[in-house]
């Protein structure tokens, strides 16, 4: 069930667009912002709200890689950039390092559901490589020591 | 050179409207609203400004294609900066959002659009927040909304966040995405100037392109045209990353040589190592080597050198870099970002990545290098949009200059550079 607050926020973004359907991406972002991922039920409800067929919402959710469809991620979603500029400066070592200290593999989530580790393509922060994004925040110019400190502060 | 695009980058609070106004901001918009649309378009044409998103199409000409008698019209700013190595638009958005907004006001007025949208990639959460705040400020001060500065011209502006799809940087995929569809490119023609957002005339310009507009209005097209080469003038943002001492964002005259960018501005090679290869314009651009370092970084000179300016993202690789591994990482990116619309790109890029992966990890089979070349030939020119071509161009650049490294990987089951496999 979508909360009244979510529905209100969706109504507000409708004003930006020429038709209801166009608000689909923004609406999914609002829903994910609250729940961390998207469920079938929520997408069906959104389809009704935007007056489009359910499959239209599903296909958008499936196409864009930042929507977590049906796959809940941990409280802190660690996304390490693995593209060329970061790779040149040791992104793979960083990924291995995080795998070791969290004891999970890439695409895995810790048993306490606190951390999910992913690798992603370029995040547009190449002059401060290597870097990662945890939820909405960028962490740049990373070293093993920095990563350990960041993860320790989030573990609390 | 006096900087115009990055002048507010290091000013504390430079992103606020007070600071922007204090530095003479929105004077260009005021001036432009008095000039009339045709005069502005002529000025932009005279300046010689070419689109900074990668294709280098003349901006004034693009604006002039918009039919006068069809309503409504739209302006879309392409801030879906996703080409690996590129972070120039992010710099403007986060630290000087009003420069972009002012450019967009002028562009909208010139083409007759009353609605403007900034399409920003989903990962730039901070940038999207900065833009939302800046747009709000601009409304409060009367630079957006109804009857701007008493000119009878009205403009609404909003931010649309992408959500993880490189392909939405392709202009028609971007339009699909704003309309609430999957971001897959449309057939061209008709071009967006005729059939764009909701089937209406639409101009799509890059952040850096639009940010050049205020200075063209204030300083004049002659000033702009006097910077850099005659055929592609103006200031240009170069994003330098990789094995250099001072990676970063540099505003320099268009046509600055690669050598000057790497050795003067970016402080030279890290650890004094030897330069092996440079990608001059984002991973799509074929790599260049030491002997091509004196190439001026502009659209035409780089095309002549067999590469492209693209987004101006300079990725520098030193002698410790395995080109096979770089090619694999670049190709993996393209196969990940292929939208799935056409077969040569959807299946071809995945096939190339699989072959590159086994070559990189010492499992290459005899004939794999020839297979890669064959795949390149089968994909190039046969894809719906330039993404598939981009994957081929990148790989062909690597094969042209470093074919022996690929062959070595296949035959010796090991890396020519590191001796092992995987990350050095």
Q: Which residue did the predictor score with more confidence, A73 or A156?
A: A73
Same-domain status, A80 and A140: yes
By Cβ distance, the residue of A18, A59, A125 closest to B182 is A59
> By the 8 A CB rule, do B86 and A124 touch?
yes
Q: B292 and B355 share a domain?
A: no
- Residue B151 sits in the same domain as residue B107: yes
Taking contacts as CB-CB distances below 8 angstroms, the residues of chain A near B166 are 121
User: In this structure, are A80 and A59 located in the same domain?
Assistant: no
Tell me, yes or no, whether A99 lies in a domain: yes
Query: Cβ A83–B241 below 8 Å, yes or no?
Result: no
Taking CB atoms and an 8 Å cutoff, what residues of chain A touch B117?
A: 16
- Assess whether A9 and A48 both reside in one domain: yes
Question: Are A130 and A109 in the same domain?
Answer: yes
What are B242's two structure tokens? 């990789």
Cα-based distances in Å from B337 to A22, B136, B346 = 22, 33, 9
| A59 and A91, same domain (yes or no) | no
CA distance B225 to chain A (A): 29
| Predicted pLDDT at A72 | 85
Instruction: For residues B77 and B145, state if they share a domain.
Output: yes
Residue A68, in any domain of the structure? no
C-beta separation of A117 from A102 below 8 A: yes
Q: What is d(CA B339, CA A99) in angstroms, rounded to the nearest whole number?
A: 30
In a domain, B343, yes or no: yes
Q: Has residue A17 been placed in a domain?
A: yes
Q: How many alpha carbons lie under 13 Å from residue B386 in its C-beta half-sphere? A: 16
> Is there a single domain that holds both residue A56 and residue A81?
no
Query: How close does chain B come to A139, measured CA to CA in Å?
Result: 12
Range of the domain at B42: 17-225
Check: CB of residue B117 under 8 Å from CB of residue B178.
yes
Domain with residue A25: its CATH number is 1.10.10
- The alpha carbon of residue B422 and the mean position of all alpha carbons in its chain are separated, in whole angstroms, by 30
Same domain, A45 and A98: no
Q: Does residue B393 belong to any structural domain of this protein?
A: yes
How close, in Å, is residue B46 to chain A by CA atoms? 32
In this structure, the answer to whether residues B177 and B293 fall within a common structural domain is no
Are A108 and A147 part of one and the same domain?
Answer: yes
Q: Is residue B301 domain-shared with residue B204, that is, in the same domain?
A: no
- Residue B382 has a pLDDT of 97
pLDDT of residue B11: 84
Same domain, A56 and A118: no
Q: For residues B73 and B220, state if they share a domain.
A: yes
Please list, in sequence order, all residues whose beta carbon lies within 8 angstroms of the beta carbon of residue B235, skipping any fewer than 6 positions away.
B1, B3, B4, B5, B212, B227, B228, B251, B252, B253, B254
CB-count burial class (<10 Å; 0-12, 13-18, 19+) for B248: middle
Q: Which residues of B touch A99 (CB under 8 A)?
A: none
Residue B283 in domain: yes
Any domain includes B384: yes
Whether residues B180 and A89 touch (CB distance < 8 A) is answered with no
Range of the domain at A32: 4-63
| Same domain as B390, residue B377 | yes
A70 part of a folded domain? no
**In-domain check, residue B196:** yes
B76 and B201 share one domain: yes
What pLDDT does residue B244 have? Answer: 98
Q: Which of A16, A42, A63 is the last residue of a domain?
A: A63
What is d(CA B257, CA B422) in angstroms, rounded to the nearest whole number?
33
DSSP for B93-116, please give it: HHH-HHHHHHHHHHHHHHHT-SEE
The pLDDT score that the predictor gives to residue B1 is 72
Of A59, A66, A124, the CB nearest to B163: A66
- Answer with the one of B191, B225, B259 that is the final residue of a domain: B225
Q: Is residue A69 part of a domain?
A: no
Residue B341 CB neighbours (<10 A): 18
Q: Which of A64, A125, A128 sits opposite B165 (nearest CB)?
A: A64
| pLDDT at residue B422, rounded to an integer | 63
Question: Number of folded domains in chain A?
Answer: 2
User: Which residues in chain A are contacts of B283 at CB distance < 8 A?
Assistant: 83-84
* CATH (domain of A99): 3.40.30.10
Closest by alpha carbon to B200, among B314, B115, B308, B276? B115
Cross-chain Cβ contact A64/B183 below 8 Å: yes
Q: Residue B2: which residues within 8 A CB-CB, separation 6 or more?
A: none
pLDDT tens across the length of chain B (424 residues): 789 999 998 888 999 999 999 999 999 999 999 999 999 999 999 999 999 999 999 999 999 999 999 999 999 999 999 999 999 999 999 999 999 999 999 999 999 999 999 999 999 999 999 999 999 999 999 999 999 999 999 999 999 999 999 999 999 999 999 999 999 999 999 999 999 999 999 999 999 999 999 999 999 999 999 999 999 999 999 999 999 999 999 999 999 999 999 999 999 999 999 999 999 999 999 999 999 999 999 999 999 999 999 999 999 999 999 999 999 999 999 999 999 999 999 999 999 999 999 999 999 999 999 999 999 999 999 999 999 999 999 999 999 999 999 999 999 998 999 877 666 5
Same domain, A54 and A81: no
Among candidates B163, B248, B283 on the partner chain, residue whose Cβ is nearest the Cβ of A29: B163
Q: Does a structural domain hold residue A71?
A: no
Give domain status of residue A9, yes or no: yes
Cβ separation B84–A24 shorter than 8 A? no
H or E element at residue B237: strand B235-242
Boundary (domain end) residue, out of A15, A42, A63: A63
Residue A71 has pLDDT above 90, yes or no: no
B149: domain CATH number is 3.40.50.11540
Burial call B197-232: b when 16+ CB within 10 Å, e when fewer:
bbebbbbbbbbbbbbbbbbbbeeebebbbebbbeeb
Q: Name the residue of chain A whose CA is nearest to B184's CA.
A: A63
Cβ–Cβ gap B315/A126 under 8 Å: yes
Cβ(B204)–Cβ(B55) under 8 Å? Answer: no
Pairwise CB contact (< 8 Å): A122 & B82 = yes
8-state DSSP, B261? I
CA atoms of B239 and A127, how far apart (whole Å) = 8
**B122: nearest CA partner in chain A:** A66
Domain count across chain B: 3
| Secondary structure of residue B58 in the 3-state scheme | strand
Whether A29 and chain B come into contact, CB under 8 Å, resolves to yes
For residues B234 and B251, the answer to whether their CB atoms sit within 8 Å is no
| Inter-chain CB proximity B333 and A121 less than 8 Å | yes
**Are residues A91 and A151 part of one domain?**
yes
**Cα–Cα distance for residue pair B324/B97, rounded to 1 Å:** 39
Domain closes at, from B318, B333, B360 = B318
Structural domain contains residue B116: yes
Beta-carbon contacts below 8 Å between A and B: 137
Do residue B269 and residue B371 come from a single domain? no
In a domain, A142, yes or no: yes
The per-residue pLDDT for range A78-133, each reduced to its tens digit, is 999 999 999 999 999 999 999 999 999 999 999 999 999 999 999 999 999 999 99
> B337 and B304 in one domain?
no
Interface contact flag, A29 B122, Cβ < 8 Å: yes
ipTM for the assembly = 0.97
Contact A42, A36 (CB under 8 A): no
Q: Are residues B299 and B332 in the same domain?
A: no
Q: B274 with B336, same domain?
A: no
Residues A80, A48: one domain? no
> Chain A 40-79, CB below 8 Å of chain B: which residues?
56, 59-60, 63-67
Write down which residue in B181, B198, B225 finishes a domain: B225
Quick check: is B361 in a domain?
Answer: yes
Mutual orientation of helices B88-95 and B97-111 as an angle, nearest 10°?
100
What's residue A1's pLDDT? 86
CATH no. for residue B246? 3.10.20.600
Find the Cα–Cα–Cα–Cα dihedral B45, B312, B165, B138, rounded to 10°. -50
């Amino acid at each position: 069930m979508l909360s009244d607050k979510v529905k209100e926020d969706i109504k507000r973004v409708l004003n930006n667009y020429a038709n209801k359907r166009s608000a689909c991406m923004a609406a999914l972002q609002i829903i994910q912002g609250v729940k961390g991922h998207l469920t079938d039920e929520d997408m069906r409800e959104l389809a009704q709200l935007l007056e489009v067929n359910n499959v239209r919402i599903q296909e958008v959710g499936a196409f864009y890689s930042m929507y977590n469809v049906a796959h809940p991620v941990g409280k802190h979603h660690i996304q390490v950039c693995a593209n060329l500029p970061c790779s040149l400066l040791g992104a793979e070592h960083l990924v291995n390092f995080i795998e070791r200290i969290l004891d999970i593999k890439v695409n895995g989530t810790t048993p306490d559901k606190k951390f999910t580790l992913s690798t992603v393509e370029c995040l547009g922060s190449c002059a401060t490589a290597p870097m990662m994004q945890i939820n909405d925040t960028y962490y740049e110019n990373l070293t093993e020591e920095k990563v350990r400190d960041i993860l320790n502060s989030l573990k609390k | 050179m006096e900087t115009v695009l990055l002048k507010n980058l290091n000013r504390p609070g430079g992103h606020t409207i007070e600071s922007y106004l204090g530095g003479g901001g929105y004077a260009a918009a005021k001036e432009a609203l008095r000039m009339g649309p045709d005069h502005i378009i002529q000025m932009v044409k005279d300046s010689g400004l070419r689109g900074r998103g990668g294709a280098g199409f003349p901006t004034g000409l693009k604006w002039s294609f918009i039919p006068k008698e069809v309503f409504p019209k739209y302006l879309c700013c392409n801030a879906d900066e996703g080409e690996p190595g590129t972070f120039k638009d992010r710099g403007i958005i986060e630290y000087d959002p009003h420069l972009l907004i002012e450019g967009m006001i002028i562009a909208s007025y010139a083409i007759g659009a009353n609605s403007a949208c900034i399409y920003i990639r989903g990962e730039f959460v901070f940038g999207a927040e900065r833009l939302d705040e800046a747009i709000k400020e601009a409304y409060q001060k009367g630079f957006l909304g109804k009857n701007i500065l008493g000119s009878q011209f009205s403009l609404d502006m909003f931010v649309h966040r992408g959500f993880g799809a490189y392909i939405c940087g392709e202009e028609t995929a971007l339009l699909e995405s704003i309309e609430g569809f999957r971001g897959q490119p449309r057939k061209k023609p008709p071009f967006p100037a005729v059939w764009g957002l909701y089937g209406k005339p639409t101009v799509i310009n890059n952040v850096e392109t639009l940010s050049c507009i205020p200075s063209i209005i204030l300083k004049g097209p002659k000033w702009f045209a006097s910077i850099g080469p005659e055929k592609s003038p103006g200031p240009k943002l170069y994003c330098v990353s990789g094995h250099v001492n001072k990676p970063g964002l540099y505003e320099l005259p268009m046509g600055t040589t690669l050598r000057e960018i790497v050795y003067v501005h970016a402080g030279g090679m890290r650890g004094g190592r030897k330069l092996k290869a440079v990608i001059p314009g984002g991973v799509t651009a074929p790599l260049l080597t030491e002997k091509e370092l004196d190439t001026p970084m502009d659209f035409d000179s780089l095309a002549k050198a067999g590469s492209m300016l693209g987004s101006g993202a300079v990725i520098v690789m030193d002698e410790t870099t395995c080109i096979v591994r770089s090619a694999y990482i670049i190709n993996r990116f393209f196969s990940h970002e292929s939208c799935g619309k056409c077969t040569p790109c959807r299946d071809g890029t995945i096939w190339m990545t699989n072959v590159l992966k086994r070559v990189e990890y010492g499992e290459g089979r005899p004939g794999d290098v020839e297979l890669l070349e064959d795949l390149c030939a089968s994909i190039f020119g046969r894809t719906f949009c330039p993404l598939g071509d981009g994957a081929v161009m990148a790989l062909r650049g690597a094969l042209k200059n470093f074919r022996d490294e690929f062959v070595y990987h296949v035959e010796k089951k090991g890396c020519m550079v590191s001796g092992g496999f995987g990350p050095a």
